[in-house]
Amino acid sequence: MAPAHSLQSLHRLSRRHLLHVGYSGLLSCGLGQAIASQVRADAPEIRPRAKSLILVFCTGAISHHDTFDMKPQAAKEIRGEFQPVATSVAGTRICEHLPRLATLTHKYALLRTLSHKDNNHLMSTHHVLTGHLQPGGFFDKVASRDDWPCYSAGCEFLRPRTDGIPSGVNLPTFLMSSPLTWPGQHAGFLGPKYDPWQIVGDPNHRDFRVDALTLAQGIDPLRLDQRRSLLKTLDGGAPMAQDAATSRMTEDQRLAFTMLSSGKLTQAFELHRETDAVRDRYGRHPFGQSLLLSRRLVEAGVPIVQANMGSVQNWDNHGAIFSTLKDRLLPPLDQGVAALLEDLDERGLLQDTMVIVVGEFGRTPKINNDAGRDHWGPCFTGLFAGAGVQGGKVIGETDEIGAYPISTAYSPDDLGATVYTALGIEPHSVVRDRLGRPVHLNQGNVIESLYDSAEST
């Protein structure tokens, strides 16, 4: 029997509940319709640079010292075991275990001075994935509806879709380690109506599928349309008070019917439609096939896809970091991200798709007694490509041991402002928290150095 892969924001359709088709991710739990409409009306329009974002998240925090900001002249306990190699851009060198990305340096920019003040996985993940500090944050504060919304939730709230395509999809794993659930993965105070869809399942598995996007046995699109007509008749047969909850349910039903009756999104998950050559190019492993699925979702019209590179804290290498990176983590990351950039470019999608590769923080300059590196928020690197980003640039400079920025530092708030602006969302738009208080969606500044043609700093 095929493994059960789930889409947590959806419920599988059955005959019994076809008349009430919907999914939990569309049910609001906070803002009234009138308030939400007013907030959207006040959100200014800005010209987008990107139609889509693929956020490649290295959960657990990838080491900048051993990838994109190497310090070969530092002492052995700092520089580590890997050697830097030349790239397609003169003067830029990256890790020897990223050979395919080394040939593509002209297509992406490296921002070496990302920085924040926290070393906790959960709080830092929230900060990077939302562009805002976690409200009331403390060590290992789990996800709650007081959290800030993730990027796709902010976009869905301010630019709601009506075509049944979600604003965000997260895959292939949900960041949770009992009893901890990582914040930053959902819509926070905006409510579950704006949550991204969550895919849990290995796209590399030969039987990978998303059951929630499949109609129940015996139900075809024609019968689904008949059910929709019957529901409309029943809804119109008796007078009802059109309160906010009723209006939301009507919208939820319409969107769910639209999604299920359209094959566009369903086909995006059918990786068997790709040739063997394309699948091999990305790599027959979870990293590669997750990134291939991300490209397919972008083609289907999903604006934000977050691809988690591995299980929770996969890159949290406190011990044996060099063998782990060399043998298990860097080769599939290198193959998958390189294939993604090339594939997007060849298909004419890179000009409209922003790609970001980042973790929640960096790792300590000094190698510990277990031959690993520990948590380090003051300095880490992000890779940026597409949607107007000037390839071949190295932005920012760190000190001789990669501990602190010695040029302009950029916070996750700035990362968030860059994401929202690229997608045509004014980052300083006012939304309302669960108490109805007006707050700015984001308070950072766009990282303009990604776009200008000035020399690297």
The domains located in the chain, with CATH, are 6-450 (3.40.720)
Among 168-182, 236-250, 339-353, which is the least confidently predicted range? 236-250
Q: Which residues, in sequence order, are CB contacts of 341 under 8 Å at separation 6+?
A: 104, 107, 108, 350, 355, 385, 386
Predicted local distance difference test score (pLDDT) of residue 111: 98
Given pLDDT bands bounded at 50, 70 and 90, which one contains residue 213?
low
Are 385 and 379 in contact by the 8 Å Cβ rule? The answer is no
Given pLDDT bands bounded at 50, 70 and 90, which one contains residue 217?
low
Residue 243: half-sphere exposure toward Cβ, Cα within 13 Å: 2
Are 426 and 154 in contact by the 8 Å Cβ rule? The answer is no
Q: What is the mean pLDDT of residues 10-14?
A: 32
pTM: 0.85
Q: Any bridge partners for residue 54, and if so which?
A: 305, 355
Closest-CA residue to 73 (of 349, 303, 398, 329): 398
Predicted local distance difference test score (pLDDT) of residue 160: 93
Predicted local distance difference test score (pLDDT) of residue 164: 82
Tally Cβ neighbours within 10 Å of residue 290: 28
Summarize the chain as % helix, strand, coil (round to 5).
Answer: 35, 15, 50
CA distance 409 to 379: 8
Work out the mean pLDDT of the chain and round it to a whole number: 85
Predicted local distance difference test score (pLDDT) of residue 22: 29
Are 397 and 111 in contact by the 8 Å Cβ rule? The answer is no
Predicted local distance difference test score (pLDDT) of residue 207: 87
Q: What is the mean pLDDT of residues 57-62?
A: 98
If phi > 0 it is left, if psi is from -120 to 50 it is alpha, else beta; for residue 24 that is alpha
Predicted local distance difference test score (pLDDT) of residue 341: 98
